[in-house]
Each structure stands twice: as structure tokens, then as C-alpha cells.
Amino acid sequence: MTPPLALTCGDPAGIGPEITLAAWRRLRHELPFALIGDADHMAALGAPAGVPVARIAGIAEAAQVMPRALPVLHQPFTSAPVPGAPDLGNAAAVIAAIDRAVKLARAGDAAAVVTNPISKKVLVDGAGFAHPGHTEYLAALGGVARPVMMLVAPELRAVPVTIHVPISAVPALLTPELLAETIRVTHAALRRDFALPAPRIAVAGLNPHAGEGGLMGTEDETVIRPVLGALRAEGMDLAGPLPADTMFHPPARAGYDAAVCMYHDQALIPVKTLGFSVGVNVTLGLPFVRTSPDHGTAFGIAGTGRADPDSLVEALRLAHRIGRNRAAA
């Protein structure tokens, strides 16, 4: 039997708590998870929403408790959270919840880590957080130097090679080593985590028309094409470099299992167009499974009842599937 999922609280002033309550309603009879957060805070939020909350002593209890109440592994906050008003005093507890979830996953007690959104600024200002972001912190906990981000929508999996950098910086960062490593990690994840024995990967070009033979930039010919040739020689099924403007219509998507893109928007625009409210962020290459909803803390709508839980629900479902696939492998 697959262990429960460990869901972190994220920033408690954001929408994480309310979408967690909604996710429990949707999934209570489908899959077990335990929230790592303040049980008293969740009970206070759950009461008017009609969601019972149960404090559990260990994550193994989650499966039994899940059908009747939201299982919570108590991680107390220093200050009472107020929706939409982030509190630096709670930063350490947010980090502690992440640490605890990773420890459970690495011990095999949790099938996966699913993370609610955090505010990097709150963690930096409140707890001296020294990492560029959530993903990089999880990579450090897992002993991984360079994690790979995959965005998953119902009709597309896309991986950006470079992520949160200016467009002007992309060509210099796009080295053969980085591209080859990203494709290798993606290929391995498709086999193990998505149970695809012979993955097909489409690789976008960097420039318009994939450079058009060097007329619109040389990186496609000098960097991307040689890497793809070397990886094909290792047995990978790779298409590209392909013009990005013709890669994402339905007949094109039918020909591959994942798209590797050269920069952030090249990957995220099609994913968000095809599945804006249900996209899931998956971190590849970690020694544990990690997914998250593809959105932020949304402080501006926290506590208003307008938060959409769909992305978190899909993140939990995908984490459960990947956890089962890894166990089977």
C-alpha cells in the first residue's frame, strides 16, 4: 500500500489553508494525505467550512483518519495567521514544515511531498532564508545540485532548461552541459515517474524557426543540435530542434510525451494556455517525489472564498500516481 502524502502548509496567510480544506473534500475517499501545519489554526478555519480536523501523532494514521477528517501533523505557528497579512514571525514554522515533509518522504513514511505556496520574501525577511526559491531549498535538502522543473497540464508536459532569468541572459546560460543534463533528467523521470518505457521528447529551438539554418541565430545549430545528436546515440527518442511556434498544436503534441523548452515562457505559456487552473509543478531529479500547485500565495484573495483548489487537487493526484510508479519500479 502506498504511504500517505505529506502536504506542507505554505504561507498560512495565503490561500494554502483554504485550498487544503477544499482538497480534502474532493479527495477524502480517493487518496490519503496529511497536512503539516498548525492544527488549531486549521480547526478554526475548518469549522465554519464544515471540514473536521483531526490532529494525528504520525503520518501513518492519515489513511484511517482521511475519510472523516483532515489529518494534521501539528506544526504550531508563532502568531495567529491572518488571511492576506503575511507575518514574518511564522517564517520559521513554514520552513520547519518543509523540513519535516522531506524527512518523512526520505524515510519512506510519506509517498511524496506536496507543497503549498510560500512567500520567499517572508522567509528571507523573517528567517534569513538563503535559497533562491522553494525548489532550490528542496534540492538542497535532497542533496541535488541542479533540479529540473516540469510543468504538467492534462495535455502537455513541458520542461524549461533555463527558468527565472532575463531573456537576454538565456543564450549564455544555454550550455551543452546544461541542456544535456536537463534532457537526461527529463528522460529518466518519464521512465520512472510517469511509467513510460520509451519516452519521446520534443526539443524546442531557441530562435524563431529554430534559427532557420543560422539565419536567425546560431545557437540551434552550434549548441542544441549537437547535444541532441549525442543523446540520440545513447538511444533517446528526441525530435528537434523544432520551431516553438509549431510544437504545441494538437497533432504536434500527439507525437511526444514531453517538450523541453529553452526558457521560462516558451514552456509556461502553452502549459498555462492548455490548463491554467489545473497545472502542476513537478521537481524532477530529487530523491523524493515533489509536486506543487502552479500558482503563488495569492495574498490578495486569501480568505475571500475565491481561491481555486483545482491545481492543488491535481498536484496531490499526480504526486500519488508518481509515488505508486516509483514504488512499482
Annotated binding-site ranges = 134-135, 164, 209, 264, 272, 281, 290
Residues within the annotated binding site for substrate?
Answer: 134-135, 272, 281, 290
Calpha distance 187→328 (Å, rounded): 18
Residues within the annotated binding site for a divalent metal cation?
Answer: 164, 209, 264
b or e along 205-219 (b: 16 or more beta carbons within 10 Å of the residue's beta carbon)? Answer: bbbebbbeeeeebeb
Cell numbers given for 215? 539565419
Calpha distance 101→62 (Å, rounded): 14
Please give, one letter per residue, the 3-state secondary structure of 266-328.
Answer: HHHHHHHHHHCCCCEEEEECCCCCEEEECCCCCHHHCCCCCCCCHHHHHHHHHHHHHHHHHHH
Quote the strand ranges of 90-155, DSSP E: 113-115, 148-153
Show Cβ contacts of residue 12 under 8 Å, excluding neighbours closer than 6 positions. Answer: 37, 38, 41, 77, 81, 90, 94
Three-class SS of residue 207?
coil
